[in-house]
């Protein structure tokens, strides 16, 4: 039987362990043993077919055969599979985690995608053709030639009110969303307002109830009539869904308890001074006299809570301008 070249190369390498592989050999090995985008072409095709259906039925959860990857499920494998099925060699990729380009999840996923595709990567939102993100929509408005891929931990917003996936699928089919309205009403009775901090449920095109991932409420208005295609992937739950550009996305709200974002007037980023971005709170440790961090601030500076832009790339851009 004729063996493929890549298999021959591997057998040769394994049977001659004494020969030290040179760096050029290792490069050659990568050339022949990796598929572009790591996952095989049949798997990509399956993800692609499901993505097309997700775009055709905005907000509908489309099941897909979530493949195993060298990343644990729950760490962005849904978004990763979408990105790997999307990319072509001339793409420029940005990966963020909670708005941050440098967090562990973002760095690892970016490295993995770059290693298996040789794509150009960037931290500049405006340079990217594909942005993969965990729980944030970038601050800078995305354009028509960009795609936002979101990693989703919990795909079905009805999970709060209906633990059975079979029953919640029926509820989506019948557009029976009464229980979620009751849930929201109860939260108003309980706490005086709708106490959903993130993962705010929205109606897409007046038909499907959709989860917005644990993105802050601040990001929800960006989904409505956006210029950009939003693709959502839940690897652990094996679901894909999408919001096409220029689609109507409305957060659930009562007339007397309208939807609100969490931004408060007067808050500003400590680094760039922005008052019009989503801010996260960080504790700045007290410093002792010699400048090292300290639990107490005897004769040094007191520790305090500060606000910083969640979108680090945008914050750095603003700082450069200032």
Residues serving a catalytic function are: 59, 269, 272, 309, 315
Instruction: State whether the Cα torsion 44-50-56-59 is positive or negative.
Output: negative
Nearer to other proteins, 83 or 151 (CB): 83
Cβ(262)–Cβ(213) below 8 Å: no
* DSSP result, 260-318: --S--TT---TTT--SSS-EEEEEEPEE-TTS-EESS-TTSBPPEEEEEES-HHHHHHH
Nearer Cβ to other proteins (249/309): 249
Which of the 8 DSSP states describes residue 136? -
- Least distance between other proteins and beta carbon 166 (Å): 9
- Determine phi and psi for 156, rounding to 5 degrees: -100, 115
Query: Shortest distance, CB of residue 208 to other proteins, whole angstroms?
Result: 8
Which of 161, 209, 207 is closest to 184 using CA atoms?
161
Contact residues for other proteins (CB under 8 A)?
A: 30-31, 34-37, 41-42, 44-46, 48-58, 60, 62-63, 85-90, 92, 116-118, 120, 144, 169-170, 173-174, 205, 207-208, 225, 229, 242, 244-248
Q: How far is the CB of 222 from other proteins (least distance, A)?
A: 16
Q: How far is the CB of 41 from other proteins (least distance, A)?
A: 6
Rounded Cα distance between 114 and 108, Å, is 10
Identity of the residue, 92 or 280, whose beta carbon is nearer to other proteins in the bound complex: 92
What does the alpha-carbon distance between residue 82 and residue 234 come to, in Å, rounded to a whole number? 10
Q: Kindly state the DSSP code that residue 233 receives in the 8-state scheme.
A: E
List the alpha helices (DSSP H) in 174-259.
Answer: 178-191
Say which DSSP state 257 is in: S
Nearer to other proteins among residue 7 and residue 52 (C-beta): 52
283-318 burial, b at 16+ Cβ within 10 Å, e below that, comes to eeebebeeeeebeeeeebeebeeebbbbbbbbbebb
Biggest alpha carbon–alpha carbon distance for the chain: 79
- In the complex with other proteins, the residue whose CB is nearer, 41 or 195, is 41
Minimum CB distance to other proteins smaller for 175 or for 293: 175
Cβ of residue 267: shortest distance to other proteins, in angstroms?
33
Report, in Å, the least distance between residue 184 CB and other proteins: 24
């Amino acid at each position: 039987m004729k063996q493929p070249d890549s298999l021959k190369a591997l057998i040769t390498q394994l049977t001659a362990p004494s020969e030290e592989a040179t760096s050029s050999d290792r490069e050659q090995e990568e050339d022949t043993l990796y598929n572009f985008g790591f996952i095989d072409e049949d798997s990509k095709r399956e993800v692609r077919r499901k993505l097309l259906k997700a775009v055709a039925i905005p907000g509908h959860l489309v099941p897909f055969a979530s493949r195993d990857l060298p990343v644990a499920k729950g760490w962005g494998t849904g978004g990763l599979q979408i990105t790997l099925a999307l990319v072509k060699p001339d793409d420029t990729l940005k990966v963020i985690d909670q708005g941050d380009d440098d967090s562990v999840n973002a760095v690892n996923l970016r490295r993995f995608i770059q290693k298996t595709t040789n794509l150009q990567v960037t931290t500049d939102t405006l340079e990217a053709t594909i942005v993969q993100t965990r729980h944030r929509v970038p601050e800078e408005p995305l354009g028509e030639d960009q795609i936002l891929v979101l990693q989703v931990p919990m795909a079905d917003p009805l999970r709060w009110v209906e633990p059975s996936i079979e029953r919640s699928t029926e509820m989506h089919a019948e557009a029976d969303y009464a229980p979620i309205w009751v849930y929201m009403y109860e939260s108003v009775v309980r706490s005086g307002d709708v106490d959903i901090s993130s993962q705010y449920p929205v109606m897409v095109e007046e038909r499907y109830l959709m989860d917005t991932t644990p993105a802050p409420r601040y990001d929800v208005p960006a989904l409505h009539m956006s210029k950009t295609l939003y693709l959502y992937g839940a690897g652990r739950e094996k679901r894909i869904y999408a919001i096409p550009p220029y689609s109507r996305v409305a957060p659930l709200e009562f007339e007397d308890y309208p939807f609100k974002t969490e931004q408060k007037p007067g808050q500003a980023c400590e680094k760039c001074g922005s008052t019009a971005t989503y801010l996260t709170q960080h504790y700045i440790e007290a410093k002792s006299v010699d400048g090292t961090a300290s639990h107490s601030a005897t004769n040094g500076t007191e520790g305090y809570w500060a606000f910083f832009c969640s979108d680090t790339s945008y914050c750095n851009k603003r700082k450069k301008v200032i």
